């Protein structure tokens, strides 16, 4: 009990100091109270203060100076843009984004590349030994079951524990309300298939994950792009689009949007659901990053406000525990029968072994513990990476530190070409994601998505420094070209 109380106190002290730093109450360069003085002020032992300072140091908020003490080092507000995320001018030269995406996929499988482009958790942050043990136990205890097809909607017991997990944001579902899929993308694809026909019009985020663009194209759909701003989805724009076009469905990433990191406020989610329900237009909700929040409370979902079943809620376990297991799920609301039927046509059922292994992991009570560790690690990494970006990137860039997820969305001056930076970085064995691939019109050429999914190391710092140097050179060339 004493240990838990001390842990609570140093966490509490660290959180108070962190708030003071991020709100500029404690300024950059200011010295913090000595360990001895703060321990007296807080009525705790010096070891408790050391732990609090160590936690802040690990996040890159403070630094220890030999024989001097601890000082604030993090510049949270510097070069962070509160501006609306808006499209840049279309590219002057045509770029085949499918070729860029192919290059990016190749980088994902390279062992030699510094992965600053992948929006998936690093294996270093995953409980690999425990997962391997769960696989072994599943094979031993379910060996006959694993040779059979699972239920078309997925392992009933796994659906039950996932339904329990969804209670975190108020999802009150039964196991039979869910369908297990091969990752979130299969859930999104099936949703589009059952709701639309070729040439139908759908509404999607102006910027979104490139595989969603590809799915829309393959299904022969037409997309109306709805702007994503620093404050969420542009609902007034969506209202006008609904009046102007025969929109059959909307597909939106609601929490810690990829690539921008924006989280739609809960009040906007409610407004979005009310708008679409009144028009009887289904919402396909991609909430794949919802569990990766850094604050005290998980953001809600559109599904939470859905009283009539017009929201098809899609997510997966790929971003939190096991990317390679490809276990996603959908709560299709009033479209459950159509969704389950289409799932049977596509693949009959999802692979038995990864379902059984993850069920075992859940049953051991490890998932919530792992999530807490993962969120803490990602939050710390976000702060350390942002500090490096501010230190090494050119003046004139803008970005915001997200409140969850994996990604920074970094804006360069308008003349900047992120694909040129992508190629230069690739030559130096550094992977980034150029902004063009997240836009249907191949706009946003002066943006990059930079992932902080890998634990911060000296190698990461050196990679960001090198990337900043490459960007500086490219900006210098761009300015020279403008002058002549």
Question: What is the distance between the alpha carbons of residues 480 and 297, in angstroms, rounded to a whole number?
Answer: 48
| Domain residue spans of the chain | 2-72, 97-125+372-483, 128-365
Length of the chain: 484
Q: How far is CA 57 from CA 46, 273, 405, in A?
A: 16, 42, 22
Pure H helices in 393-457? 418-427
- Give the chain's end-to-end CA distance (angstroms, integer): 71
447-451 vs 433-434, strand pairing mode: antiparallel
How far is C-alpha 258 from the chain's CA centre?
6
Q: Count Cβ atoms below 10 Å from residue 36 Cβ, excluding itself.
A: 10
Query: pLDDT tens string for the chain (484 positions)?
Result: 334 344 578 888 988 888 888 777 787 778 899 888 888 888 888 888 888 888 888 777 888 877 778 888 755 544 444 333 333 333 434 456 777 888 877 777 777 889 898 889 999 999 999 999 999 999 988 777 787 888 899 999 999 999 999 998 999 999 999 999 999 999 999 999 999 999 999 999 988 888 898 899 999 999 999 988 878 899 999 999 999 999 999 999 999 999 999 999 999 999 999 999 999 999 999 999 999 999 889 999 999 999 999 999 999 999 999 999 999 999 999 999 999 999 999 988 899 999 999 999 999 888 999 999 999 999 999 999 999 999 999 988 999 889 999 999 999 998 899 999 999 999 999 999 999 998 877 678 999 999 999 999 999 999 999 999 999 998 887 764 454 4
CATH domain 2-72 topology: Arc Repressor Mutant, subunit A (1.10.10)
CATH domain 97-125+372-483 topology: 3.90.1150
Nearest alpha carbon to residue 45 among 54, 53, 36: 36
Q: Which of the four CATH numbers 1.50.10.20, 2.40.40.20, 3.30.910.20, 3.40.640.10 does domain 128-365 have?
A: 3.40.640.10
Nearest alpha carbon to residue 412 among 461, 483, 484, 477: 477
Question: Quick one: tokens of 476?
Answer: 């210098």
């Amino acid at each position: 009990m004493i240990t838990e109380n001390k842990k609570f106190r140093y966490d509490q002290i660290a959180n108070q100091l962190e708030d003071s730093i991020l709100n500029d109450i404690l300024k950059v360069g200011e010295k913090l109270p000595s360990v001895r003085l703060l321990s007296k002020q807080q009525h705790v032992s010096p070891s408790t203060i050391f732990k609090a300072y160590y936690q802040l140091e690990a996040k890159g908020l403070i630094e220890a100076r030999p024989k001097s003490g601890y000082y604030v080092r993090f510049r949270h507000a510097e070069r962070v843009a509160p501006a609306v995320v808006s499209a840049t001018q279309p590219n002057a030269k045509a770029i085949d984004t499918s070729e860029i995406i192919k290059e990016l996929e190749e980088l994902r499988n390279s062992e030699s590349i510094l992965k600053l482009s992948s929006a998936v958790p690093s294996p270093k942050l995953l409980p690999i030994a425990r997962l391997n043990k769960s696989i072994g136990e599943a094979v031993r205890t379910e060996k006959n079951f694993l040779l059979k097809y699972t239920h078309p909607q997925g392992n009933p017991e796994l659906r039950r524990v996932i339904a329990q997990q969804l209670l975190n944001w108020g999802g009150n579902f039964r196991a039979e309300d869910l369908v297990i899929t091969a990752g979130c993308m299969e859930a999104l694809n099936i949703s589009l298939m059952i709701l639309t026909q070729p040439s139908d019009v759908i509404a999607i985020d102006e910027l979104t994950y490139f595989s969603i663009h590809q799915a829309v194209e393959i299904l022969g759909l037409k997309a109306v792009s709805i702007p994503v701003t620093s404050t969420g989805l542009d609902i007034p724009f969506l209202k006008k689009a609904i009046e102007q076009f025969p929109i059959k469905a909307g597909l939106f990433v609601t929490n810690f949007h990829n690539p921008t990191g924006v989280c739609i406020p809960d009040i906007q989610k409610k407004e979005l659901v009310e708008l679409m329900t009144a028009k009887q237009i289904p919402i396909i909700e991609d909430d794949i990053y919802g569990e990766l929040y850094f604050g005290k409370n998980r953001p809600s979902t559109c599904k939470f406000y859905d009283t009539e079943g017009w929201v098809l809620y899609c997510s997966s376990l790929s971003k939190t525990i096991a990317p390679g297991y490809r276990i996603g799920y959908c709560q299709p609301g009033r479209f459950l029968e159509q969704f389950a039927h289409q799932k049977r046509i596509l693949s009959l059922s999802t692979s038995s072994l990864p379902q059984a292994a993850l069920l075992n992991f859940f049953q051991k009570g490890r998932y919530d513990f792992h999530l807490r560790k993962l969120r803490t690690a990602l939050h710390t990494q976000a702060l350390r990476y942002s500090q490096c970006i501010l230190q090494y990137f050119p003046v004139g860039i803008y970005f915001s530190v997200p409140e969850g997820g994996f990604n920074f969305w970094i804006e360069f001056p308008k003349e900047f070409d992120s694909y040129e930076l992508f190629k230069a970085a690739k030559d130096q064995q550094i992977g980034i994601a150029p902004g063009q691939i997240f836009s249907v019109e191949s706009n946003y050429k002066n943006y990059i998505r930079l992932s902080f999914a890998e634990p911060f190391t000296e190698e990461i710092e050196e990679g960001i420094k090198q990337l900043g140097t490459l960007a500086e050179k490219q900006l210098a060339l761009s300015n020279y070209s403008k002058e002549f």
